[in-house]
Every structure is written in structure tokens, then in C-alpha cells.
Amino acid sequence: MAEQEKHDGEGTQPLDAFRRLWKPSDEGFIEELTAQQRAVLAVLIVHANEDGVAWPSHATIARATGLGRSTVIRVLRELESLGAIIRTSNPPQSTRYTVPLWDRPAASV
């Protein structure tokens, strides 16, 4: 029983972030995202660590979303300009993407 309780309390950040992707919010931000932007953001959330940081390659995002690599690159730029992600380049390693949505309080479900 204690193990089940522990599990129920863990891993809720990605779930909360997903809920904010598809549930209307008072901020109006999420509703304005295109289907492509939501798909790419969802992949970043799935790949994110406990701090909301993800580093999937463009190819990984493209495979997961069914989008072309050039479309993924364009959509990542759009998400960054919208403030949906923060991109940090650290050559020669992968680019890291932080999802600020991660830290916002969850909307009531």
C-alpha cells in the first residue's frame, strides 16, 4: 500500500503539463498553439526530466510527431518565440529545452 501511495505522488508534473496543453486556461496561451506546436511540446514534456528539461534530437521529435525535420526546427523556433520553451545550446552536447509550463500550478481537473 505504501508503495502505491508513493507512486501516486510521483510523476505528476508531466501529467499536469499535459493537462495544461489540452485544457483551456485563463492565460489563453495554450489555446493559441497550433497542432504542430502542441505535438512538439508534448514530445518535449514526455522526454523531460524532473526539472522540465529535455534534450531529444530533431530526428527523435520528427519520428514521434510525424513531422519533417525542417518543420520540427521551425516549430521549436516558434515555441521559443512564444515563450513555451527555453532553448539552451551547449555544444558539443544536445540542445536542451526547458518547458516553463512545468512550473505553473495545475488547473483544476
Q: What residues does 86 pair with on adjacent strands?
A: 98
Fold of 2-103: Arc Repressor Mutant, subunit A (1.10.10)
The three three-digit cell numbers of residue 52, written as one number: 522540465
Looking at residue 18, its pLDDT comes to 59
Predicted structure pTM score = 0.71
Instruction: Name the least confident of 6-10, 28-32, 78-82.
Output: 6-10
pLDDT above 70 as % of the chain? 63
CA angle in degrees (0–180, nearest 5) for 6-12-103: 130
Q: What does residue 24 show for φ and ψ, rounded to 5 degrees? A: -55, 140
| Sheet with 96-98: strands ordered across | 53-54, 96-98, 86-88
Looking at residue 52, its pLDDT comes to 86
Residue range 32-77, pLDDT digits in tens = 889 999 999 999 998 988 888 999 999 999 999 999 999 999 999 9
Which residues, 6 or more positions from 48, have their beta carbon under 8 angstroms from its beta carbon?
Answer: 14, 17, 54, 99, 102
Which residues, 6 or more positions from 62, have their beta carbon under 8 angstroms from its beta carbon?
Answer: 68, 69, 71, 72
